[in-house]
Structure 1
Amino acid sequence: MRVNADFSQPAIVTADDYQWVASPQQGVERVMLDRLGGEKARATSIVRYAPHSCFPRHSHPGGEEILVLGGTFSEGERHFPAGYYLRNPPGSSHQPSSLEGAVIFVKLWQMEADDTNSVCIDTHNPANWAELDGREICALFHSAHEQVCLQRLGPGTPLLIQHVAGAELLVITGQVEACGQTLRSGSWMRQPNGAGLRVTAGDQGATVYLKTGHLFSLPTSRLCLPQH
């Protein structure tokens, strides 16, 4: 399966474009933002858990990145309400579920082999935020291959992008103006390496997930795709 799979081209999925697709597990459905592969795929998705839904324990050979957008997401006996950012490195395993229901942003098979550390950050904790150039930033992950953060922008404030080797963003709250479009909460956007990106918060401000650097040497020559 290929969804927004040409990484040399920009891609936008607005919140109004969502098409929910059932997963193999009852009670779990997803919006495919980009995807290369079948059920085991390099994928970026919005995933929705109905109350009392769960997956059996499984591994993630290519790693998994999660941002909890709503409800409470659980891994075994660990429970993560909205605002938690998680990284499960390549080779890790878990048993995800949700008692009350949850919506999460998920990236699969997109980590480097040397990305071996687990990450768990509560982005609702003020201690995890810092002021920088007129906006608030919550650093989530940084390596030679990628940089991930949340940015909290006041009205009309531009997104701060320090690395331009490709960029990917998800609007968490508020709305932004980008590429001649208004992107409200839940909208996702990917700009390829070498493309300019100008993003400005709307009249009510915005909170934005931003990942940069990871598209520098994509696509296919570097993609280690899972087996179908």
Structure 2
Amino acid sequence: MPETVRDDLTVGGWKSLVFEPFRTGVTIHWISRFEGERPGTALLKYEAGAAVPRHRHPGLETILVLDGSQSDEDGRYFAGTFVVNAPGSEHSVWSEDGCVVLIQWDRPVEILEE
């Protein structure tokens, strides 16, 4: 039996989930929180124009854009795009039109500038 199940995420199943504040304009629904060596997995929902400041990834980060688009310094990623950010990589993230992403971090990010 799986530890957790979230149904139909790629077709809007996230719309019925409860999100909590994460950063200004960004909310989070935790699927699994960091615990020991266990990675954190969550859904992030960005309002149009929301951003996360420049940060570093001490571990691997993977993102699947489920709705809308998310951008960083390397491009704009639309629904269906899978992004991998290597350990040690840095970027800032924003969404012009709002988005929902499924994200997994090996380790919590380090915010570099507010």
TM-score by length of 2: 0.77
Supply the distance in 1 between the matched residues of 2:3 and 2:82 (Cα, whole angstroms): 25
Q: How many angstroms does 1:67 deviate by?
A: 0.6
Q: How many angstroms does 1:9 deviate by?
A: 5.9
Supply the distance in 1 between the matched residues of 2:53 and 2:101 (Cα, whole angstroms): 18
% identical aligned pairs: 29
Question: Could you say what secondary structure the match of 1:48 adopts?
Answer: strand
Give the structure 1 partner of residue 19 of structure 2: 20
Supply the distance in 1 between the matched residues of 2:98 and 2:49 (Cα, whole angstroms): 7
Higher relative contact order (CA 8 A, sep 6+): 2
Q: Is contact 1:51–1:99 with CA below 8 Å preserved after alignment?
A: yes
Supply the distance in 2 between the matched residues of 1:91 and 1:46 (Cα, whole angstroms): 22
Unaligned runs of 5+ in 1: 1-7, 110-224
Letter in 1 for 2:62: E
Q: How does 1:96-107 map to 2 (within 5 A)?
A: 96-107=93-104
Count of equivalent residues: 100
Supply the distance in 1 between the matched residues of 2:49 and 2:2 (Cα, whole angstroms): 38
Unaligned runs of 5+ in 2: 8-12, 109-114
Give the structure 1 partner of residue 39 of structure 2: 42
Alpha carbon RMSD of aligned pairs, Å? 2.2
- Asked if residue 91 in structure 1 is aligned to residue 88 in structure 2, the reply is yes
Q: How does 1:73-92 map to 2 (within 5 A)?
A: 73-76=70-73, 78-92=75-89
Question: Could you say what secondary structure the match of 1:11 adopts?
Answer: coil
Supply the distance in 2 between the matched residues of 1:104 and 1:11 (Cα, whole angstroms): 18
Q: How many angstroms does 1:13 deviate by?
A: 3.4
Structure possessing the higher radius of gyration over alpha carbons: 1
